[in-house]
Amino acid sequence: MNLYKIKTKHFSSKDSCEAIACLLLAEGDEDVYEWMKGCPDIGELLYISWDDNERDNEVFEIFNDDYDVIGTRTYKEKIVALKGDIDDEDVSYDDLYYGLTLFGWDLVCEDSDFDSELLRGAGILHSTKEIK
């Protein structure tokens, strides 16, 4: 299992805030995406609209350095490749009356083999699978 840092960035009309939401043990980026898409309860419920966006069946073009279209990808493939929507250049910041919250993740370390009891007890470590 790999250890990931789940990040959040919130924007409103007057300010913004960046934070680490939790740590997550997962097999890979796609597992992180699926876990986050399920709006996990990490002490507070994270509402993430990726499932809604995925159902829109929108296809995104992939460009090379010369801005030629070299392929397409689905919403899920796009978010997994970007490791969340936190760095998505297509996100609109036009209407921030109610605020906008974006999520992402970073790989902290691969094949984590450490005593996770302290972090789980503190409520900051979660897992896509049951850990014994």
Radius of gyration of the chain (CA): 16
Alpha-carbon distance of 107 to 29, in angstroms, equals 9
Bridge partners (DSSP) of residue 105 are: 6
pLDDT computed for residue 112 by the predictor: 62
Alpha-carbon distance of 116 to 85, in angstroms, equals 28
Work out the end-to-end distance of the chain between its first and last CA atoms, rounded to an integer number of angstroms. 13
Alpha-carbon distance of 25 to 17, in angstroms, equals 24
pLDDT computed for residue 132 by the predictor: 46
pLDDT computed for residue 127 by the predictor: 74
Burial (CB count within 10 angstroms: exposed 0-12, middle 13-18, buried 19+), residue 82:
middle
Can you say whether the dihedral through the CA atoms of 34, 39, 41, 46 is positive or negative?
A: positive
> Of all helices (H) and strands (E), which one includes residue 127?
strand 125-127
pLDDT tens digits along 20-66: 888 888 999 999 999 988 877 776 666 787 888 788 888 888 888 88
pLDDT computed for residue 80 by the predictor: 93
CB atoms within 10 A of CB 26: 24
Bridge partners (DSSP) of residue 5 are: 23, 106
pLDDT computed for residue 45 by the predictor: 60
pLDDT computed for residue 105 by the predictor: 95
pLDDT tens digits along 63-80: 888 888 888 899 899 899
User: Across the chain, what does the average pLDDT equal?
Assistant: 82
